[in-house]
């Protein structure tokens, strides 16, 4: 949606929901991120100014899966205060407001963690360790939620289905020569699917860029819930570990590792959650496998102008290392 169009829609929406005709809307801004459908805006009344984020699904797509923002609302409304998050203020599916479903949460002062940022590197190691512990504690609390209360998210995802569902993305991806290890890794994953599984709600994209911290290192919110689902909770710690594993990456976006590494994060999670993580290497391999395919697929979308994001031109250099790391984790 163009910013001018969104601003025109936000004014009557805000007037109705503030029950105040004498207000203004300003600072309508597209927020950064791969999804690209979050916007910030500010509402000014006679006596106060408040800033918000609005989340919208992509235009002209089926409102299912990651495009169904009501899945995110379902998860956010289930979260207890022990999981720092942005509480949903307004949500709905009435197309008369924005032409599609939406939800709105308060603006937060802080930032996500980008490992190359100077403010992260300047923090003492004990603060960075504390940030990791806060993140893992939030993850553990998510996994403790009663998933039977989240029927809107669907049935638990079977692990073999989670491996197989990436086939259709793989065949459409760019630079197919970088994916030559996919058949071997896929076969290993299917052959070694874990038998003992703890089912729960998982975030689906638990990584530093989806964790909002104050500059002092306090976790303010777990954000970006579009991949939320029900299934093995070890999906999250496997994903988080992969993004903190230097052996899985070889691109300019992953050249610095200032936060606790994969093994430390897994150890913290096992201690805090009491969850048996003996199969964690399988989940780490699955995560590396998935992100290699995701990178190739998004690189294709970027090059065709369907979802432009030049970051994928950098991350593509890690497609092969990710697959090699997945294979090594499955053959130890």
3 state DSSP class of 30: strand
| Domain match, 134 and 90 both | no
| Domain match, 131 and 93 both | no
Phi, psi dihedral angles at 234 (to 5 degrees): -70, -10
Beta strand 49-55 with 38-44 is: antiparallel
Show which of 106, 135, 161 is a domain's final residue.
Answer: 106
Q: What CA–CA distances, in Å, run from 18 to 46, 99, 104, 254, 297?
A: 12, 20, 13, 44, 42
Q: Which residues 6+ apart lie within 8 Å of 229 measured at CB?
A: 153, 154, 157, 201, 202, 204
| Domain match, 158 and 20 both | no
Q: For the domain that residue 236 is a member of, what is the CATH number?
A: 3.90.1200.10
Is residue 155 classed exposed, middle or buried when 0-12, 13-18 and 19+ CB atoms within 10 A define those classes?
A: exposed
Is 92 domain-assigned? yes
pLDDT at site 119 = 84
**How many structural domains are present in the chain?**
2
- Gyration radius from the chain CA atoms: 20
d(CA 68, CA 61): 10
| Domain match, 40 and 96 both | yes
Sheet of 211-213, strand order = 111-112, 211-213, 219-222
| Domain match, 221 and 311 both | yes
| Domain match, 244 and 96 both | no
Domain limits for position 261:
127-330
Q: For the domain that residue 50 is a member of, what is the CATH number?
A: 3.30.200.20
| Domain match, 212 and 259 both | yes
Of the candidates 267, 272, 320, which has an alpha carbon nearest to the alpha carbon of residue 296?
A: 320
Show which of 55, 77, 106 is a domain's final residue.
Answer: 106
- 332 residues of the chain, pLDDT tens digit each: 789 999 999 999 999 999 999 999 999 999 876 554 899 999 999 999 999 999 999 877 788 888 899 999 999 999 999 999 999 999 999 999 999 999 999 999 888 888 777 888 899 999 999 999 999 999 999 999 999 999 999 999 999 999 999 999 999 999 999 999 999 999 999 999 999 999 999 999 999 999 999 999 999 999 999 999 999 999 999 999 999 999 999 987 777 778 999 999 999 999 999 999 999 999 999 999 999 999 999 999 999 998 888 999 999 999 999 999 999 999 98
Sheet of 49-55, strand order = 24-30, 38-44, 49-55, 102-106, 90-92
pLDDT at site 34 = 52
């Amino acid at each position: 949606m163009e910013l001018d169009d969104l601003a025109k829609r936000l004014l009557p929406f805000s007037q109705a929901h503030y029950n105040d005709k004498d207000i203004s809307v300003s600072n309508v801004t597209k927020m950064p991120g791969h999804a690209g459908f979050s916007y910030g805006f500010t509402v000014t009344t006679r006596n106060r100014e408040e800033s918000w984020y609005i989340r919208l699904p992509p235009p002209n797509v089926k409102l299912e899966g990651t495009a169904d923002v009501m899945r995110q609302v379902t998860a956010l409304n289930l979260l207890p205060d022990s999981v720092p998050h942005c509480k949903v203020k307004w949500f709905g599916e009435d197309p008369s407001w924005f032409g599609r479903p939406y939800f709105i949460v308060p603006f937060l002062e802080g930032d996500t963690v980008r490992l190359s940022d100077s403010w992260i590197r300047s923090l003492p190691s004990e603060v960075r360790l504390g940030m990791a512990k806060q993140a893992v504690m939030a993850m553990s609390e998510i996994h403790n939620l009663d998933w039977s209360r989240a029927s809107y998210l669907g049935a638990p995802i079977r692990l073999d289905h989670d491996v197989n569902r990436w086939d259709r993305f793989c065949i459409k991806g760019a630079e197919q020569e970088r994916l030559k290890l996919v058949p071997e890794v896929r076969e290993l994953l299917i052959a070694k699917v874990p038998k003992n599984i703890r089912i729960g709600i998982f975030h689906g994209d638990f990584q530093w860029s989806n964790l909002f911290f104050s500059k002092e290192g306090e976790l303010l919110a777990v954000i970006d819930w579009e991949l939320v689902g029900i299934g093995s909770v070890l999906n999250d710690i496997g994903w988080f570990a992969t993004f903190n594993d230097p052996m899985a990456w070889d691109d300019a976006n992953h050249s610095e590792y200032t936060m606790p590494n994969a093994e430390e994060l897994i150890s913290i999670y096992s201690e805090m959650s009491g969850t048996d993580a003996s199969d964690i290497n399988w989940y780490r391999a699955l995560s590396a496998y998935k992100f290699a395919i995701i990178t190739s697929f998004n690189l294709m979308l970027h090059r065709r102008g369907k979802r432009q994001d030049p970051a994928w031109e950098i991350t593509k250099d890690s497609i092969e290392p990710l697959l090699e790391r997945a294979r090594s984790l499955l053959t130890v």
